[in-house]
Chain A
Amino acid sequence: MQRTTKFAAGMRRRGLTSLLVVGVLVAASCGGDDDDASTDTGSDSTTAPVDDTTAPSDDTTAPADTTAPSDDTTAPSADTTSPSDGTTTPEEVEGKVTDFAAYVGGSGPADDSLEPIKIGYFNQQGGAVEVTHTNIDGVNEAVQYVNEEAGGIGGHPLEVVTCYVANAEEEGQQCGQQFANDDSIVAVISGPTFIGTESFYAALAGSKPVIHGVSVSPADTVQETAAVLFGGAKYILAPYATFARDVLGTTSAALIYPEGAGQDEGAEGQASAFEAAGIPIEVVSYPADTPDLTVPLIAAGAQDVDLVMPVINPNDCVKFEQAIQQLEIPDEKVLASPICINADVATELGDLPQWHYAVASSLSIDPSDPSVPPYTDILTAHGNESMIGDPWILVGFGQAMTLAKFLNAVGPDDLTPDAIVEQLKAFEGPLILGSPVLDCGKYPDAPGVCNDYTQFYKYNGADAGWELAGDFVPPPEGWVP
Chain B
Amino acid sequence: MKDVVLFVLLGLGGGAVIAGISMAVVITYRGSGIINLATGAIAMVSAYGFWALKTGYFHVTFGTVPAAIVTMAAAILVGVLSEMLVFRPLRTSSPLAKLVASLGILLILQATMLLWFGSASKSIPSVFPKDIVEVFGESMPEYGFWMAGVVVLIALALVALFRWTRFGLATRAAAENEVFGMLAGLSPNRLSMANTVLASAVAGAMGIVAAPLAQADSTTLVFFIVPALAAALFAGFSSLWIACLAGFGIGIGRSLMAWVVTLDWFPTDRGNPIPGTQALLTFVLLVFALSLRGASLPSRGELVEKRLPFAPAPRRLAAPAAGLAAVGAALLIVLPYGYRQALMLSLVGIVVCLSLVVITGFVGQVSLAQVSLAGASGFVLSHMVVRAGIGFPWGPLIGSLAGVVVGLIVGISALRVRGPSLAVVTLAGVVAIEQFGFANRRWGAGVSGSPVEQPRLFGFSIGSDAGFRGLDDKLPSPVLGFVYLVVVIALCLLVAQIRRSVLGQQMLAVRANERAAAAAGIHVARVKIIAYAISSFIAGTAGWMYAYNFGSVSAARFGILIALGFVAFAYIGGITMVSGAVIGGLVATEGLVPYFFEELLHISGNWTLLVGGILVIFTLIQNPEGVAGTTYRKRQAAKRAKAAAGVEHESGRPLAAGGDGHHAITEVGS
Interface residues in chain A, defined as those with a beta carbon under 8 Å from any beta carbon in chain B: 125-130, 164, 166-171, 173-174, 177-178, 180-181, 194-195, 197-199, 201-203, 205, 217-219, 259-262, 264-265, 267-268, 271-272, 282-292, 294-296, 298-300, 303, 314-316, 318-319, 322, 325-328, 342, 344, 348-349
Contact = CB atoms under 8 A, between A and B. Distances in A.
B555 A260 contact: yes
B653 to A, nearest CB: 58
Contacts of A197: 448-449
Contacts of B224: 289
A81 B93 CA distance: 68
B446 A264 contact: yes
A259 B132 contact: no
A219 B278 CA distance: 26
B123 A318 contact: yes
A296 B121 CA distance: 20
Nearest to A325: B130
Contacts, number: 225
A217 B275 CA distance: 17
Q: What DSSP secondary structure best describes chain B's contact surface?
A: mixed
B220 A205 contact: no
B271 A283 contact: yes
Contacts of B254: 287, 290
B465 interface: yes
Given A177-B337, A180-B475, A181-B475, A265 B119 contact: no
Interface of B: 6-7, 10-11, 13-14, 17, 110, 114, 119-123, 130, 132, 138-141, 143-144, 210, 212-215, 217-221, 223-224, 254-255, 258-259, 261-262, 269-273, 275-276, 278-279, 337-338, 341, 345, 434-435, 439, 441, 446-452, 464-465, 474-476, 549-552, 554-557, 589-590, 604-606, 608-609
B550 A128 contact: no
Contact of B121 (A178, A194, A203, A315): A315
Contact of B476 (A177, A198, A314, A319): A177
B447 A166 contact: no
Given A218-B446, A289-B224, A315-B217, A298 B551 contact: no
Given A296-B258, A303-B138, A318 B554 contact: no
Contacts of B446: 218, 264-265
8 contacts: A168-B590, A259-B276, A282-B262, A283-B273, A285-B275, A291-B210, A326-B130, A348-B122
Contacts of A180: 475
B346 to A, nearest CB: 11
Nearest to A257: B272
Contact of B605 (A166, A174, A327): A166
B266 to A, nearest CB: 11
Contact of B220 (A271, A272, A289, A344): A289
Nearest to B120: A344
A283 B272 contact: yes
Given A260-B555, A287-B435, A198 B450 contact: yes
A205 B465 contact: yes
Contact of B554 (A169, A286, A294, A322): A169
A198 B605 contact: no
B141 A174 contact: no
Contacts of A127: 114, 119, 605-606
Nearest to B589: A168
Given A298-B140, A315-B120, A203 B475 contact: yes
Contacts of B590: 168, 170-171, 174
A203 B123 contact: no
A169 B557 contact: yes
7 closest Cβ pairs, A-B complex: A202-B551, A198-B449, A126-B605, A166-B605, A198-B552, A291-B214, A292-B213
A285 B449 contact: no
Given A202-B552, A292-B14, A322-B123, A167 B605 contact: yes
B451 A264 contact: no
Contacts of B434: 260
Choose among A130, A203, A289 the residue with the greatest number of B CB atoms under 10 Å from its CB. Answer: A289
A272 B271 contact: yes
A220 to B, nearest CB: 8
Contacts of B221: 291
Contacts of B223: 289
A290 to B, nearest CB: 8
B550 A198 contact: yes
A325 B213 CA distance: 12
A287 B279 contact: yes
A300 B138 CA distance: 12
Given A166-B608, A322-B123, A129 B219 contact: yes
A219 B272 contact: no
Contact of B219 (A128, A130, A169, A349): A128
Nearest to A180: B475
A331 B120 CA distance: 22
Contact of B138 (A201, A205, A298): A298
A177 B475 contact: yes
Contacts of B551: 198-199, 201-203
Contacts of B141: 294, 326-327
B548 to A, nearest CB: 10
B244 to A, nearest CB: 18
A184 to B, nearest CB: 13
Nearest to A254: B262
B586 to A, nearest CB: 14
A461 to B, nearest CB: 19
A128 B110 contact: yes
B213 A291 contact: yes
Nearest to B449: A198
A218 B552 CA distance: 13
Contacts of B272: 264, 267-268, 271, 283, 285
A128 B219 CA distance: 8
A300 B606 CA distance: 36
A348 B606 CA distance: 23
A170 B123 contact: no
A247 B219 CA distance: 38
Contacts of A294: 10, 140-141, 213
B11 A295 contact: yes
A303 B474 CA distance: 57
A316 B219 CA distance: 12
A342 B224 CA distance: 27
Given A127-B119, A198-B552, A260-B555, A291 B271 contact: no
Contacts of B552: 198-199, 201-202, 219
Given A271-B271, A294-B140, 7 more contacts: A169-B557, A199-B552, A202-B552, A203-B551, A290-B278, A292-B14, A315-B121
A291 B550 contact: no
B447 A264 contact: yes
Contacts of B219: 128-129, 288-289
A314 B120 contact: yes
Given A260-B275, A283-B272, A283-B273, A326 B261 contact: no
Nearest to B221: A291
B556 A169 contact: yes
Contacts of A259: 275-276, 435, 439
Given A197-B449, A264-B275, A128 B608 contact: no
A125 B114 CA distance: 12
Contacts of B345: 170
Contact of A128 (B143, B255, B261, B606): B606
Contacts of B609: 128, 167
A284 B451 contact: no
A417 to B, nearest CB: 15
A298 B11 CA distance: 12
Contacts of A260: 275-276, 434-435, 439, 447, 555-556
